[in-house]
């Protein structure tokens, strides 16, 4: 139906019928333009999730994991929500040790890749002096996923089994760490 169609009642009353009368081309050209459709309601822009504020790295407690001469503690610095990959080598019993601050509620994921099947990594809470690991790579595999119950520093320790380390073998690796 065009904009200039007209309705005319054929009969009066409750049972009225309407007759649609079409316009000529001339009447259609002179007809008033249709009113614009109402605009869709504007959606509020999505607010990105707030970026958590990271706690300070607990260096004093993380240093307890530096047990072999030659071990070095490194703080992994990257966006509060993001990831980074580091490459390293476990040389005998010596390997870099990584400290990663994590805000309460954040999830830390870590994956170790190596062509050498004799390298693993543990993840521990820097403030825990019991020696217990929260994640044990020798048992749990190459990928970890931990959610921080509070602001804390996780310590990631790549290592070779004792027999491999005593033989002085080396194990190059890639460690990918993410917070979200």
| SS3 state of residue 101 | strand
Domains annotated for the chain, with CATH where assigned, are 1-34 (no CATH), 59-179 (2.60.120.380)
Which ranges constitute the DSSP H helices of the chain?
Answer: 25-30, 59-62, 137-140, 162-166
**176 contacts 111 by C-beta, under 8 angstroms:** yes
> For residue 13, what are its two tokens?
């009353």
DSSP calls for 3-52 = TT-EEEESS-STT--EEEEPPPHHHHHHSPPPPPPPPPPPPPPPPPPPPP
Residue 161 and residue 79: Cα distance in Å, rounded?
Answer: 32
Residue 173 and residue 156: Cα distance in Å, rounded?
Answer: 13
Residue 161 and residue 121: Cα distance in Å, rounded?
Answer: 10
Give me the pLDDT at residue 52, please.
75
**123 contacts 144 by C-beta, under 8 angstroms:** yes
Taking only the tens of pLDDT, the chain with its 180 residues reads: 445 555 455 455 544 444 444 555 555 555 555 666 666 666 666 766 677 799 999 999 999 999 888 889 999 999 999 999 999 999 999 999 999 999 999 999 999 999 999 999 999 999 999 989 999 999 999 999 999 999 999 999 999 999 999 999 999 999 999 999
């Amino acid at each position: 139906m065009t904009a200039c169609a007209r309705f005319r009642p054929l009969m009066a009353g409750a049972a009225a019928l309407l007759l649609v009368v079409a316009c000529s081309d001339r009447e259609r050209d002179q007809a008033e333009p249709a009113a614009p459709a109402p605009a869709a309601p504007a959606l509020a822009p999505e607010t990105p999730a707030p970026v958590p504020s990271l706690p300070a790295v607990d260096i004093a407690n993380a240093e307890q994991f530096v047990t072999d001469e030659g071990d070095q503690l490194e703080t992994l610095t990257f966006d509060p929500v993001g990831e980074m990959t580091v490459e390293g080598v476990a040389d005998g019993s010596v390997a870099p040790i990584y400290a990663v601050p994590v805000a309460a509620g954040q999830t830390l994921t870590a994956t170790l890749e190596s062509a050498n099947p004799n390298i693993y990594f543990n993840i521990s809470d820097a403030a825990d002096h019991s020696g217990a690991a929260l994640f044990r790579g020798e048992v749990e595999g190459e990928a970890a996923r931990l959610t921080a119950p509070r602001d804390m520093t996780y310590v990631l320790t790549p290592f070779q089994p004792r027999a491999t380390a005593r033989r002085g073998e080396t194990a190059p690796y890639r460690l990918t760490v993410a917070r979200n």
